[in-house]
Chain A
């Protein structure tokens, strides 16, 4: 072996040692390659990682191999196993697997939490699950009409964003405003048909009561709350009147316009008699929010029977209740029946006969004069033509 051969052999050995598989420990080792922002795999997908951003993420203190556990050394195989979050987040993974999102996609975690390398804690504004970002995150799917149609769900994102909660969140940046997960939960979201779900009908008062505690307490005192607590799921809960997602400010005319028919869904006879009154005629034209709707007299959350002394429609309270709109209301004034039924002879005989008289008068006068006028027109025209004096308008 010549000197030249030895030198070559030594060089090859040095290179061989330099390129031998090495154990990967620090992020820096991986970032030496993956730090290149243009790096892609053979399929063209980016496999670059922004080391600085990753470092500031919730997982920034971990080693790459903590998650990419099947990579032990460099070079590593082209195909590597998908990262399994449940290795650490076992509870959440269990919740998700029992939820409506169990079969949502291959990577349920990143669908909500965002790009795997840049996951931030939920109180960090950069996080996809930061309160102000939650609706947008959920809306990625639940704002899609196609998805809504496919799963038979309402397209809730736009409804929520236009609601009082949505406005509080998007306009005021109110962190305590209810966002999706405030009511639905996060990992273990269940269908509203499941009795464990916070959006199951009988659980809704408690769910809303998390924030609206006084209203929940009032509601429990009212007939509706008692009925629901007693197992009657036909009685209304919060969302039956306020809707689930498109919740409006109750003093707005839009809400006042939509609310009476909601009560009328169950209270059909009362709704029908209400519609005969001036209150309803006024109200259904819109643009005038002061007219009495159901809850203006009956109360909204703690609707009580008239026999209950705490009810605003208890006899003792009527002057006050009516007087809220009708200044100067007295004992005689409050004998007005807001649900009078002039079609019911037994219930309101005076009104029944007044209505009957007015209808007979109306029908009698009109029928008589209709016949009179029709005959007259025919006869006049006949005379005009017969006397050949028809001159297109002037008298015959």
Chain B
């Protein structure tokens, strides 16, 4: 990514102060693959789930009927599966072979801990004006929930999906009724994922007043010092006290990357909210 070459053109954002790296390029690419394939799976999956609705048939006719829908669904599924396997490989490589600290436990881990339970409780108290706002670490409890929801969803939806795709093969070691169950599981869990991402994740991460209209950090990788301090005070303090601020320093996101991210992010949010509305119309029809 030619960030260094173009860094000097972004005088405006650079003037605001220091930027720190939150996500590596690989993590941002992973998120891009995840949301692109997720949108593809959601769009094609919802059409199948609500195949009797007026928009499903129109959409299917527009893209070439069911055959095309299923083709794109499976294509996205394969890409997402590969991305998931790469991620799992990465986690184990970093945690087990490279012995990197903070992968499976500790303040930088994705694994939930007692602090997350307290944070959830105290955050709710803060919502109601009953206490101070909790101080968050690198990953807040709702971010860990998002992560594990996707992780659990990948396994559940992925397994049930492949069980339907290769039903005669899976029938060798699954009982007959399981072939009925996988559709229920796949469609309900898929629906949960879709509703959760488009109605909850979008707001929690992007649309809430602190980040409105979009939290660009997952696209640009860098976060301004102000925002970092405000959103994740504990991680910021820890970084300073451990003397790691210098090594975390990044460059201000170049303008082209900000604009590109805004366009991509807006399209993703627009598609997501459209699918959300269509789902709700079909569900409460």
Contacts and interface: CB of A to CB of B under 8 A. Distances in A.
Interface in A319-338: 326-330, 332-337
Contacts of B199: 366, 370, 373
Nearest to B56: A285
B270 to A, nearest CB: 18
A296 to B, nearest CB: 16
A335 B200 contact: no
A354 to B, nearest CB: 5
Contact of A369 (B64, B68, B129, B200): B200
Given A285-B60, A286-B61, A330 B180 contact: no
Main secondary structure, interface of B, reads helix
B98 interface: no
Interface string A269-289: 000000101101111111110
Interface in A168-203: none
Contacts, number: 164
Interface string B45-74: 001110110001100110011111110000
Nearest to B210: A395
A355 B192 contact: no
A342 B199 CA distance: 27
B193 to A, nearest CB: 10
B275 to A, nearest CB: 15
B179 to A, nearest CB: 4
A327 B207 CA distance: 48
B217 to A, nearest CB: 11
A330 to B, nearest CB: 6
A251 B155 CA distance: 38
A377 interface: yes
Given A285-B47, A332-B171, A395 B177 contact: no
Given A281-B49, A286-B61, A377-B208, A362 B167 contact: no
A204 B49 CA distance: 39
Contacts of A326: 167-168
Interface residues of B, number: 62
B188 interface: yes
Nearest to A358: B188
B180 A348 contact: yes
A277 B183 contact: yes
B171 A333 contact: yes
A372 to B, nearest CB: 7
A365 B227 contact: no
Given A332-B176, A373-B204, A381-B209, A281 B126 contact: no
A234 B178 CA distance: 37
A361 interface: yes
A287 B61 contact: yes
Contacts of A366: 192, 195-196, 199-200
B99 interface: no
B230 A395 contact: yes
B172 interface: yes
A390 B210 CA distance: 9
B143 to A, nearest CB: 13
B211 A287 contact: no
B127 A376 contact: yes
B112 interface: no
B141 to A, nearest CB: 10
A334 B176 contact: yes
A286 B124 contact: no
Contacts of B149: 365
Contacts of B49: 281
Main secondary structure, interface of A, reads helix
Given A280-B51, A336-B176, A342 B57 contact: no
A375 B210 contact: no
Given A277-B183, A327-B168, A354-B181, A373 B176 contact: no
Contacts of A355: 184, 188
A288 B65 contact: yes
A288 B167 contact: no
Contact of A351 (B51, B124, B181): B181
Interface in A271-315: 275, 277-278, 280-288, 291
A359 B188 contact: yes
Contact of B196 (A278, A332, A365): A365
B146 to A, nearest CB: 10
A396 interface: yes
Contact of B203 (A286, A329, A330, A373): A373
B227 A351 contact: no
Contacts of B67: 287-288
A334 B106 CA distance: 49
A379 interface: yes
A66 interface: no
A372 B145 CA distance: 13
Contacts of B180: 336-337, 340, 342, 348, 351
A380 interface: yes
A351 B177 contact: yes
A99 interface: no
A77 interface: no
A291 B66 CA distance: 10
21 contacts: A282-B70, A283-B66, A285-B48, A287-B61, A287-B65, A287-B67, A328-B168, A328-B169, A329-B171, A336-B180, A342-B180, A350-B177, A354-B184, A358-B189, A361-B192, A362-B191, A362-B192, A366-B195, A380-B208, A395-B227, A395-B230
Given A291-B66, A395-B210, 12 more contacts: A284-B51, A285-B66, A286-B65, A286-B66, A332-B171, A332-B176, A333-B168, A340-B180, A348-B177, A358-B192, A373-B204, A395-B231
Interchain residue pairs A-B with the least CB separation, the first 3: A287-B65, A335-B176, A288-B66
Interface of A: 275, 277-278, 280-288, 291, 326-330, 332-337, 340, 342, 348, 350-351, 354-355, 358-359, 361-362, 365-366, 369-370, 372-373, 375-381, 383-384, 390, 393-396
